[in-house]
Each structure stands twice: as C-alpha cells, then as structure tokens.
C-alpha cells in the first residue's frame, strides 16, 4: 500500500514525467509533429504584405501556442509546469533581467565590434518592416515572440526531446538549432550569429532555472531594446 507521502507526491512533475522506456509511439509522433509544424514557414500561409496580413500571420503563431498548451494539458494530460510554465516569482524577474543584460551586451559586441571587424552587415529589413507598423502591432509582435518561442523552443522542445532521447544536452542543442534556423527567412544568414547567441543564452537560462517566466522576461527585454533602440 503506498504511503501518504507517495500519494501527495502524485501531482508532482516527477511523478507525472513518463519513463523514457515507456514513452508511447503516439507520444513521440505527437511531439515530433508539433516540432515540425513549428519549423514550417507559418507566416507564408497568409500571403500579402498589408497590415491585416501581418495580423493574420501573428494570429497563426498564437494558435500554434494554444495547440501546444492544449496538447500538454489534454492529450498528454500533464500540468503546464512539465514544460516549465509556472507562476513567476521575484527570482523570475531578477534572473530575467540578468539574462536580458547579457543578451543585450552580447548583441552590442556582435553588431558593433564583430561585424565591422569581419566586414559583415546586419540584415535589418525585417526589423524595419515591423518598425513601420503601428505601435500596437509592434507591441503585439514584441509579446508574441517571447511567449511562443519560449514555450515552443525552450519548454516544450527541451523537455519532450529530453524524454525521447534521454540526453538533456542533446535536446538543448536540437532546440537551439531549430530556434536559430527558424529565424533564417526573416533575418538572413548573417544575423543568425546574433540569433544563435540569444538562443544560447536563453537555453542556458532555461536549463539553469527551468522557469519559462524567467525566459520570457529576458527575451522580452532583449527584443524591446532591439525594437525601440535600433
């Protein structure tokens, strides 16, 4: 007969985390399918260049975010804390600010020191397109990017790939590569250096804290600096 402590621990992440040896093919297939969908050029599903088109493109990412959360809660029947989504604390804010400062400092070095030394130039076309939109739309993008990308590439990808592969470092590398390449069509090859750096900091931050609140705060501040000071 299980002890009362064991019963009380039944709702913990550890108790709900599946044994890698018992992961079903359906679980693996569902995880891989969502990861593949996230790598598709979703914005191209709505052709055009007008503001309404851009709003529709943003809506697709919110829909995918909802699908990931619904998959975790209703298909896997696990808490959102199993992908690092939990109530933020003051530590979330503190570590988020520290992470953001690191990313901003690193990006400044890449763009102001490394690129000139290597004779490279940043592709700012995508950024200028967003900056030309109304402020409310810029804020929409500014919020959507940290929410979607941290839930998808850090929380869901790292946690579920760890369960499938049994190697957290490999899951982290795969998610970092996916995050970086997902920005290729928007930012171009050169800017992927900065994107990879940002992704590396956010990946390390997640592995250290396992708190998506921390990651979202760091991501939001870093992107805000790029949006409004670039």
Contact in structure between 9 and 15 (CB atoms under 8 Å): yes
Could you tell me the pLDDT band of residue 192, with boundaries at 50, 70 and 90?
very high
pLDDT at res. 121: 85
pLDDT at res. 8: 37
Contact in structure between 211 and 92 (CB atoms under 8 Å): yes
Q: Which residues contact 28 (CB under 8 A, 6 or more apart)?
A: 164
Q: Mean pLDDT of all residues in the chain?
A: 88
pLDDT at res. 203: 98
pLDDT at res. 188: 81
Would you say how long the chain is, in residues?
230
pTM attached to this predicted model: 0.88
Please indicate whether residue 146 or residue 128 has the higher confidence score (pLDDT). 146
pLDDT at res. 19: 52
For the ranges 84-93, 105-114, 221-230, the lowest mean pLDDT is seen at 221-230
For the ranges 20-34, 65-79, 165-179, the lowest mean pLDDT is seen at 20-34
pLDDT at res. 128: 83
Q: Which residues contact 197 (CB under 8 A, 6 or more apart)?
A: 103, 106, 107, 110
Contact in structure between 106 and 197 (CB atoms under 8 Å): yes
Q: Where are the alpha helices (DSSP H) in 40-166?
A: 51-70, 90-109, 115-118, 125-131, 135-149, 157-165
- Tokens found for residue 73: 């809660």
Could you tell me the pLDDT band of residue 2, with boundaries at 50, 70 and 90?
very low
pLDDT at res. 76: 92
pLDDT tops 50 at residue 64: yes
pLDDT tops 70 at residue 224: yes
Mean predicted confidence (pLDDT) in 3-20: 42
pLDDT at res. 129: 81
CA torsion 13-200-167-28 (nearest 10°) is: 70
Look up residue 43 and give its DSSP letter: G
pLDDT at res. 72: 96
- Measured between alpha carbons, how far is 227 from 142 in angstroms, rounded to an integer? 8
- Measured between alpha carbons, how far is 128 from 138 in angstroms, rounded to an integer? 11
pLDDT tops 50 at residue 9: no
pLDDT at res. 22: 60
Could you tell me the pLDDT band of residue 15, with boundaries at 50, 70 and 90?
very low
């Amino acid at each position: 007969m299980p002890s009362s402590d064991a019963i009380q621990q039944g709702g913990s992440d550890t108790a709900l985390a599946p044994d890698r040896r018992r992961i079903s093919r359906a679980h693996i297939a569902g995880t891989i399918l969502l990861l593949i969908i996230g790598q598709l050029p979703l914005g191209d599903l709505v052709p055009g260049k007008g503001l309404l088109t851009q709003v529709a493109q943003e809506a697709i990412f919110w829909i995918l975010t909802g699908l990931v959360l619904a998959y975790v809660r209703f298909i896997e029947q696990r808490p959102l804390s199993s992908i690092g989504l939990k109530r933020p604390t003051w530590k979330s804010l503190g570590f988020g600010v520290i992470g953001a400062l690191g990313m901003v400092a690193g990006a400044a070095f890449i763009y102001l020191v490394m690129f000139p030394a290597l004779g490279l130039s940043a592709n700012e076309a995508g950024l200028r397109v967003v900056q030309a939109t109304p402020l409310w739309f810029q804020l929409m993008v500014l919020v959507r990017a940290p929410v979607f990308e941290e839930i998808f590439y850090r929380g869901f990808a790292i946690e579920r790939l760890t369960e499938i592969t049994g190697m957290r470092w490999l899951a982290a590398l795969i998610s970092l590569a996916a995050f970086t390449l997902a920005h290729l069509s928007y930012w171009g090859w050169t800017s992927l250096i900065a994107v990879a750096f940002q992704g590396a900091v956010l990946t390390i931050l997640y592995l250290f804290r396992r708190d998506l609140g921390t990651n979202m705060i760091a991501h939001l501040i870093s992107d805000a600096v790029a949006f409004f000071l670039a």
